[in-house]
Structure 1
Amino acid sequence: MNDHQNLREPVALAALWADTHAAGFTMASEPLTGSLLRTLAGSKPGGQLLEIGTGTGLSTAWLLDGMDARATLTTVDNDDAVLDIARRHLGHDPRLSVVCADGDAWLDTLAPGTFDLIFADSWPGKYRRLPETLALLRPGGLYVVDDMLPQPNWPEGHELKAAALLETLTTLPGFSTTVLSWVTGMVLVSRTD
């Protein structure tokens, strides 16, 4: 079995990658991560999805590719330059809302129990404001993070933060957690209460 075979990339992905490279953006999620996100998005028909850390929209494209026509995706990032790339290639999709805001403050504007799937790919929602972010999940909702295995772009000492997050996510009451030593290291958490 070959993980990279038959990925069926979203139509917009090649153009997004070209603009991502041209912009010098180096924090993009892996295509295999995107493939898993697409599958998880497909498990939430009519669902409300949240992506924290849009970047240039690579993961956004995968999420949209898995969503049905009734589902919606809100994606937030604090960098308008990279959001412009996402908007240019994905902004025509009526299921998508792109927000430029500070993630920490923006999370405070959301009501608990709002989302069916959250992909937290930035410090807010992952290393900061985790309890508030998990409270946004509906029962049965999924919380997903990647980059949990050591990465070449990690700052010194980051492995301690990742280990602490992993310990927290695997011991949460009211949640079920699966750790995947796959791709960049992923954690899937479902709300069970």
Structure 2
Amino acid sequence: MDDAPSTFPAALPALRTAAREAGFTMSCEERTGSLLAALAAARPGGRVLELGTGVGEGTAWLLSGMDGAARLVTVELDAAVQEVARERLGSDPRVTFVTEDGGRWLEDYAGEPFDLVFADTWPGKFTHLDRALELVAPGGTYLVDDLAPQPGWPEDHAASVERLLAELTARRDFRSVRLAWASGLLMAVRSARP
């Protein structure tokens, strides 16, 4: 069975070209993107949070799965990188771009919880994990990627991944599954039970 996506967001080719031109190499892997689209589609009218916009490839996948009533907040520290996403996706009224440190945003956010949280950067994954998980609504999904060893990982990165996996799989308020697929994923669903 081929696990390559069969459909792609319309904006993806332009985003990939812009990423190459900007020298940005950390975009969302397309199999992860297709999972994001499916998870977003499973939440009609859902509230979605993306931590780490990058140039917007993950954002495009999320938007491609969302219905017209769903809303996406995407947070990125690097304004120049996020500008690529804003230029190509900013006309979509379902998305709100936030240019801020993800950790600071998580600390300051006081709104409603999210049905889907995609942590694609350090804050919400390797830092501020508890806060990110607090923002997942009952029955909601938390997804992290880039957990399989990659060339160029910093020396201590593997230890950070192991700590993250241990913390997430030990939690009783989430049901987790590790996926040795794409860039290495973990999906955790908040228990709807009190």
User: Normalised by the shorter chain, which TM-score bucket?
Assistant: over 0.9
Which residues of 2 match residues 168-179 of structure 1 at below 5 A?
Answer: 168-179=167-178
Higher mean alpha-carbon deviation, 105-114 vs 149-158, is at 105-114
SS in 1 for 2:170: coil
Deviation by residue 1:94-132 (Cα, 9 ceiling, x = unmatched): 000000001111112223751000000000000000001
8 Å contact kept, 1:19–1:85: yes
Give the percent of matched residue pairs that are identical in Structure 1 and Structure 2. Answer: 48
The two structures, once aligned, show a CA RMSD in angstroms of 1.0
Gaps of 5+ in 1: none
- Distance in 2 (alpha carbons) for counterparts of 1:107 and 1:168: 19
Q: How many residues align?
A: 192
Cα–Cα, structure 1 residues 139 and 113, in superposed 2: closer, same or farther, change >3 Å? Answer: farther
- Distance in 2 (alpha carbons) for counterparts of 1:120 and 1:7: 24
Task: Give the ranges of 4+ consecutive aligned residues of structure 1 lying more than 3 Å apart after TM superposition.
Answer: none
SS in 1 for 2:108: coil
Which residues of 2 match residues 104-119 of structure 1 at below 5 A?
Answer: 104-111=103-110, 114-119=113-118
Q: Say if 2:76 is the partner of 1:66.
A: no
SS in 2 for 1:49: strand
Query: Which residue of structure 2 lines up, in the alignment, with residue 187 of structure 1?
Result: 186
Query: Which residue of structure 1 lines up, in the alignment, with residue 99 of structure 2?
Result: 100
TM-score relative to the length of structure 1: 0.97
Q: Say if 2:69 is the partner of 1:47.
A: no
- Distance in 1 (alpha carbons) for counterparts of 2:157 and 2:117: 22
The residue type paired with residue 73 of structure 1 is: L
The residue type paired with residue 124 of structure 1 is: P
Query: Which residue of structure 2 lines up, in the alignment, with residue 13 of structure 1?
Result: 12
Gaps of 5+ in 2: none
TM-score relative to the length of structure 2: 0.96
